[in-house]
A and B are shown apart, each in its own frame.
Chain A
């Protein structure tokens, strides 16, 4: 990926800690270290995926970038300009450029509004069109997401989950945004509908040059549409690499375990699986040193005391592991049988 041009989105040392209140007086008793110092950038027209398990902080990153809540520390830059310290009124025009698609299209669309009003709202808010021009714009957006134009006079409940997610995408595109954050945008959909939406997102990216921050726990879906991937564990990025490097030769032991845990839809493939023992530790009291050391099959003394930094371990791949070469105890990628086609 060329870095000669300025990245559209740049995140540096982002932290988001949520205070926990407890006790009789409701005083602060600790923090949830949801996101604890992560950095990444996304180039224009590129898809970066944030993957990880529940509670790793991936959705918090998305919401922090959108400034849906103030961040604890770090910098967020859009086109090189800091947006993390802007007031809400200064931020407002920038919202036209960043939009979000959430997981559940049943709760993210107002059931009392017709599609036209749902999709027109951002256009009206930013004063981009009015009157018959507005209807034309809404119609064009419905075309873009492959919904019939007359759908604009109907209500969300008349549509299925996949169609509603198309509506949510149309709304996100409405103000002419160039960065779309997809927070588990296809996770609630059935397999056949999921494929439709994933293909739609790829097409839209090609047609409009969209930049996507794709937040998901579904690794197989991510592999289909992403350019680069950042794997998160307990509020930290443990590995960041381009798609083929990450899926082909994962470096970090957590990435390997995560990939090996995905069931392969082919009964003829038998592979060795790294079963991680125990559960993800609490982000309230994360383990010392490397946060993965409590579950890592390759743990040694240094991991328990010294936190590994995210560093280049070759081929532009960033990994936060003390080991330069992680032992290859398992074949790191299933061989997908040709016969499955």
Chain B
């Protein structure tokens, strides 16, 4: 069975006055039906641009998208805007980071949830409100019949993110793209939302593309992980592979730099976090060699001259590093 979504050699560039910004540079991955795939990386690694490219929300120009984005076998990049509109919100929907800015402040939440079902399923306004109430019930908002007539400012941050999820799931999409869905929330509210997403996934059966920089969230939610750096995929594997046997020096660096709760109980005194020296390279200039070479503790001349190809080093575990074999032997 072909995967639900297959991204092949995606390149998203932006023309700016200072030159071309190569935000995504040849990224390929797939998502199977019902699966949760996390895309992780730091600011500017291209994870959000990848999501926006899939949704065709990149303005072209200045943006320029190349490659293939196959959704159920159709290349989304070939579709006309009306054809894409029929897919957006119905087959693929998106949850954004900022529930404050992504909801319309002058429409009731019921109108906003109802809009998608009226558009895609041709429901009447009355039926749409009914559906909105059902969706609010599904995402665990108390007193949904009252809340449906309220405006976003009357809801708390956690409630607004529930509304966003209700909107995204109103047409039972097959793929939910969630871009940092809990980053703006407090930890106790984040725990509620993650619990909700896990629960809804088993009930609705949608695949989730989860974009986050929080490795804790990844470990709790995802089956597979794609690690991005400077617009490239540097490693991909099952969540166990990535967390327990990371092969790319960048992935290993991220794991070491991430503070872990409970650290004071296993060590005495204050512990040092592993640093990744230096800064992310500029995406305005073409990068010669490995994108991570400038910060890599194991860099050699080969790395600076030649970009490593992404290769399957173990079953379903892909890595782009000249020295992956050595890392595997050491693991």
Which residues of A does B touch, CB under 8 Å?
Answer: 53-54, 160-163, 190-196, 198-199, 202, 217-221, 223-225, 243-244, 247-248, 257-269, 273, 275-277, 279-280, 333-336, 339-340
Contacts and interface: CB of A to CB of B under 8 A. Distances in A.
Interface stretch (B26-34, B107-115, B253-261): B253-261
Interface in B242-264: 243-244, 253-264
B80 interface: no
Query: Interface on chain A toward B: helix, strand, loop, or mixed SS?
Result: helix
B260 A336 contact: yes
B217 A263 contact: yes
Given A224-B259, A263-B217, 15 more contacts: A160-B279, A160-B280, A162-B279, A195-B257, A220-B260, A258-B187, A262-B187, A263-B216, A265-B218, A265-B255, A265-B258, A269-B219, A333-B262, A333-B265, A334-B262
Interface string B286-325: 0000000000000000000000000000000000000000
A224 B263 contact: yes
Nearest to A194: B257
A247 B261 CA distance: 8
Contacts of B217: 263
A336 B272 contact: no
B195 interface: yes
Interface string B155-167: 0111100000000
Contacts of A339: 244
B42 A192 contact: yes
13 contacts: A162-B279, A194-B257, A195-B275, A195-B276, A221-B259, A247-B261, A262-B216, A265-B243, A267-B244, A275-B192, A276-B188, A334-B262, A335-B262
B272 to A, nearest CB: 6
A224 B270 contact: yes
B239 interface: yes
A199 B275 CA distance: 8
Interface residues of B, number: 51
B58 to A, nearest CB: 23
B81 interface: no
A273 B191 CA distance: 9
Contacts of B256: 195
B109 to A, nearest CB: 16
B43 interface: yes
B188 A247 contact: no
A339 B219 CA distance: 14
Q: Which 8 residue pairs are nearest across A and B when measured between Cβ atoms? A: A263-B216, A192-B276, A195-B273, A195-B257, A53-B186, A190-B42, A261-B191, A220-B259
B274 interface: yes
Contact of B265 (A163, A247, A275, A277): A247
A52 to B, nearest CB: 9
B194 interface: yes
A262 B215 CA distance: 11
A320 B195 CA distance: 29
Contacts of B192: 275-277
B244 A268 contact: yes
A57 B58 CA distance: 39
B264 A266 contact: no
Given A194-B257, A257-B188, A247 B218 contact: no
B265 A191 contact: no
Contacts of B42: 190-193
Contacts of A267: 219-220, 239-240, 243-244
Contacts of B186: 53-54, 217, 280
B279 to A, nearest CB: 5
A224 B194 CA distance: 25
B216 A192 contact: no
A141 B190 CA distance: 39
A69 B272 CA distance: 36
